[in-house]
Structure 1
Amino acid sequence: MKSKKLYFAVPVLGMLLYVYYRFNPAKYSFFPKCPFHYLTGLDCPGCGSQRAVNCLLHLDIIGALHQNLLLVMSLPFLAIHFGYRLAGFIKQKDYRWSVIYHPATPIITGIIAVTFWIIRNLPYYPFKH
């Protein structure tokens, strides 16, 4: 069952990465819009993630940081986590990064996300351009 998910996920991920590389979400309207931003005019923790992915795929790290700092800062943690998962898949063992599965991780992640959410909506430079 695991291998079927992986064999399905890899081409889908590849297609998504191609779309985000080829089409800039800031210029094309077929990308999903943030309902929170639409209703309130404020940015949620995920606002700018699509544009940040486009910037990262074009190796524009500074542009990605300007679009969504939280997404860019989370990438090393996601890479380590998926590295463990990939090693477990290859070796057919259950490798887990203990930090991800620690009971405090969801609480800390939530605090970071809410703090980022508040700070990015402050009406002062550098939070508002």
Structure 2
Amino acid sequence: MAAIVPGRRGADRLRSVLAPLGVAAATAAAFVYVGVVDPNRPGHYPTCPFLFLTGLYCPGCGTLRAMHALGHADVAGALGFNPLAVATVPFLLFWWGRWALRSWQGRPARTSLAHPAYLWGLLAIVIVFWVARNTSYGHFLAP
């Protein structure tokens, strides 16, 4: 583990974490909004364009309702709306935490989010989830 860069003042450290803090603030604001404004009630959010045009569920369908359920500590309900979105939350928190820590320590940001094999694997998971939730065998994955 690399040490904190010597000679960095508090103002320099604060400036280096402004981007992660800004992302956290914007995410928190969006999460609070979705927690307060119920996506289960019609008229608050637009319909998924893919669902509207094709009648099929996209990988993101149900994510707003899942985040609303998570905001109300209903993990089972969130998993019922979009299990893939719920499963990605811990990974996103981990990557954000790593970014914030590296910024605080003055270490350079990584040039890639993850190893390409992991990204290809994630893409494969998303495609399988997308297809499965639109079949009769995967109807339990539909929101």
Is structure 2 residue 127 aligned with structure 1 residue 114? Answer: yes
Using the size of structure 1 for normalisation, the TM-score is 0.83
| Structure 2: 5+ residue stretches without partners | 1-14
Which sits farther off after the overlay, 41-50 or 100-109? 100-109
2:59 aligns with 45
Residue 104 of structure 1 aligns to a residue whose secondary structure is helix
The alignment covers a number of residue pairs equal to 127
- Aligned equivalent of 1:102, options 103, 115, 121: 115
Using the size of structure 2 for normalisation, the TM-score is 0.76
Structure 1 vs Structure 2: percent identity of aligned residues?
31
Residue 37 of structure 1 aligns to a residue whose secondary structure is helix
Change in Cα spacing, 1:7 to 1:61, as seen in structure 2 (3 Å) is: closer
Q: How does 1:1-129 map to 2 (within 5 A)?
A: 3-6=17-20, 8-94=22-108, 100-124=113-137, 126-127=140-141
Shift of 1:13: 2.5
Q: Is the 8 A contact 2:82 2:142 kept in 1?
A: no
CA distance in 1, matches of 2:23, 2:92: 16
| Structure 1: 5+ residue stretches without partners | none
Max radius of gyration: which structure?
2
| 4+ residue segments displaced more than 6 Å | none
Q: Is the 8 A contact 1:84 1:95 kept in 2?
A: no
RMSD: 2.4
CA distance in 2, matches of 1:61, 1:116: 19
CA distance in 1, matches of 2:16, 2:127: 33
Shift of 1:8: 3.9
